[in-house]
Amino acid sequence: MLNLSEILLKHGDTVSSFEELKAVVVKEALETREMFFNLDIEPPVYDDRPDNWYDQLEITFSSAR
């Protein structure tokens, strides 16, 4: 299972927007080949973070596989 908290711990210093976070989610999903994504924490409030961030990250992860 791929956890959002692990992604943010690993890449949090280099991610400065929600779009960059989505790109990192895709990269990690492809590299780890995990089947499940756990949104165990809320991402930082980036300027471009949408209200439906949860759904957007789920869709991003699912589309990467």
Q: Give Cβ neighbours of residue 9 (< 8 Å, ≥ 6 apart).
A: none
Phi-psi region of 33 (alpha: psi -120 to 50; beta: other; left: phi over 0): left
Give the number of domains in the chain.
1
10-residue averages of pLDDT along the chain (65 residues): 98 96 98 96 97 98 91
Tell me how far apart the alpha carbons of residues 53 and 14 are, in angstroms, rounded to a whole number.
19
| pLDDT on residue 26 | 98
Name the residue range of residue 38's domain.
2-64
Tell me how far apart the alpha carbons of residues 45 and 24 are, in angstroms, rounded to a whole number.
16
| pLDDT on residue 65 | 74
pTM of the complete model beyond 0.85: yes
